[in-house]
Structure 1
Amino acid sequence: MPRIYDWSAKEAERRVTVADLLAARNFDKRYTQVTANTEDEAIAAEAAGIDMVVTRARNVATVRKAGPNLFITAALGFAEAITQDEILRTAFRALTDGADSVITARGMSTVAMLAREDIPVMGHLGLVPRKSTWLGKLRAVGKTAAEALELLERFRRLEDAGAFAVECEVIPARVMSEIRKRSGLVTVSLGSGPDADVVFLFTEDICGETDRLPRHARAYGNLRALHERVRIERISALQAFREDVLSNSFPAPKEVSIIADAEFESFQSALNKNSA
Structure 2
Amino acid sequence: MQYQISGTVMQTVAIDLAPGETVYSQTNTMAWMNDQVRMDTHTGGGFFAGLKRSFGGGSFFITDFTASGAGHVAFAPRFPGTIVPALLQPGQSLICRKETFLVAQKSVTLELAWQKRLGAGFFGGDGFILQKVTGPGLVWLDLSGELVERDLAPGEKLLVHAGHVGVFEPSVGFDIQIVQGFKNVLFGGEGLFLATLTGPGHIWLQSMPILNLAEEIGRYLPRQGGDTGSGSAAGGLAAGAALGAAGGLLGSLLGGDS
Normalized per residue, which structure has more helix? 1
Higher relative contact order (Cα pairs below 8 Å, separated by 6+ residues):
2
Q: Report TM bin, short chain.
A: under 0.3
Q: Give the TM-score of the pair, scaled to structure 1.
A: 0.25
Q: Select the structure of larger CA radius of gyration.
A: 1
Q: Give the TM-score of the pair, scaled to structure 2.
A: 0.27
Normalized per residue, which structure has more strand? 2
